[in-house]
Amino acid sequence: MHCSRYTALYRRYNALATFAMEYLLTGLRRSLTLGVLPASNLAASKLLVYADKLDNDTMTEQEVEEVSSSHPFDRRVLHLDPRHLQFAMFQAIRRADHASLRTFAKTFIGMGNDPAALLCLDHAFSSPLELQDLSFSEVEALLSLYFDYIRLLKKFRHDESLAQDSNRQRLFGFQVLGENRYLAPRHSILHEELSDRSGSSKKGMSGHTCGSDDLRRGITQLISARISVRTEAQDDACRGVHGFSTCLHLLIEEKCDSPDAEESCSFQHIQQEQLTSDWYNARLRLILLQFQILNSARYDNLDVKR
């Protein structure tokens, strides 16, 4: 008797938790779109608290009932399903854990989940790269991932689809209201972009309403600006990396012309005996990779600047 009652209660809780999980993920996808920080969205912050509890099995039945919906999902496969990875991604965004976000991005790229991968990379590269104390291989790994970031941004820039559940819709979180009617939700960078372009005439309590042409134009401008600004900051970070800048005075004249030599010289000090083929090849890979990044980013924005 007690066993059957316990089983019934467990099934009820499990079903509610199943519904709550899908609701939470839907809410987080809508709230934490490209460029949105949890601190700027109270609804997203509350959802993240619930998601953390649900993911760690500490959510009360009352809390489960509060956030449950009617979309079924099997709670038993939580830790085997990509949705568990998405929970971890949103928590990493909340913590500004850039190292974890870079790892998640690689996993999502392998899974073919471009919106999730780009969301991870956009947060991971939201602050200037710190490359000065990294080895050649570590810098190369970061630049390779940044190249993936630019390629994904370009892919979304040229993707014209605005349909429900399209990659663009999943990334920016706009709502499809009907034929040629879309809503960019408040507290999103897409809302800011469209509002700045057209003024306040189409702004409402829920967001900014527009047609497909305005929405596509806004997304294109937003992505192009992001490519330009982020790549400029990335290139500035690379200027201080020793792999890109060797002290030629030391190499050629065997003496640095800086007042305090190595302490104040902004270039890498390397001795003749360290100039091996491995050093040269590693440096060449870095330079060519950066050329690829700059060429890709700047070529992509030519049509926008004209």
| In the chain, where the domains are located | 2-94, 240-275
Q: Beta-carbon neighbour count of residue 194 at 10 Å?
A: 26
Strands 175-178 and 207-210: unpaired
181 phi/psi in degrees, rounded to 5 = -135, 125
Residues recorded for the chain: 306
- What pLDDT, on a 0 to 100 scale, did the predictor assign at position 162? 94
Class of residue 247 by CB neighbours under 10 A (exposed 0-12, middle 13-18, buried 19+) = buried
Residue 239, both tokens: 């200027």
Q: Which residue has the tokens 């998405």?
A: 86
> Which of 32, 233, 5 has its CA nearest to residue 116?
32
What region does 88 belong to: left with phi over 0, alpha with psi -120 to 50, or beta?
A: alpha
Q: Supply the pLDDT for residue 103.
A: 92
Structure tokens, 22: 């899908």
Furthest-apart CA pair in the chain: how many Å?
Answer: 91
Q: What's the pLDDT score for residue 157?
A: 94
Query: Residue ranges of the alpha helices (H) in 159-200?
Result: 167-172, 189-198
Query: What is the model's pLDDT at position 91?
Result: 85
Q: Are 140 and 292 in contact (CB under 8 A)?
A: no
Residue with tokens 């060519």: 288
Q: Token digits for 75? A: 């709670």
Handedness of CA 21, 25, 26, 32 (dihedral sign): positive
Q: What is the DSSP letter of 76?
A: G
Residue 304's pLDDT is what? 45
pLDDT, one tens digit for every residue, the chain (306 residues): 444 544 444 444 455 566 667 777 777 877 788 888 777 777 777 777 777 766 665 545 554 445 444 333 333 323 334 667 888 888 888 888 999 999 999 999 998 999 999 999 999 999 888 887 788 889 899 999 999 999 999 999 999 999 988 999 999 989 999 889 999 988 888 988 898 876 654 556 678 899 999 999 999 999 999 999 999 999 988 876 755 667 767 677 677 776 665 556 767 777 677 777 887 788 888 889 999 999 999 875 554 444
Work out the number of other CB atoms within 10 angstroms of the CB of residue 71: 13
CA 1 – CA 8 distance, rounded (Å)? 11
Q: Is 292 exposed, middle or buried (0-12, 13-18, 19+ CB in 10 A)?
A: middle
Rounded distance between C-alpha atoms, residue 22 and residue 18, angstroms: 7
CA distance 34 to 291: 26
What is the Cα–Cα distance from 109 to 156, expressed in whole angstroms?
14
CB of 282 closer than 8 Å to CB of 137 = yes
As a whole number of angstroms, the distance between CA 191 and CA 174 comes to: 9
Backbone φ/ψ region at 275: left (φ over 0), alpha (ψ -120 to 50), beta: beta
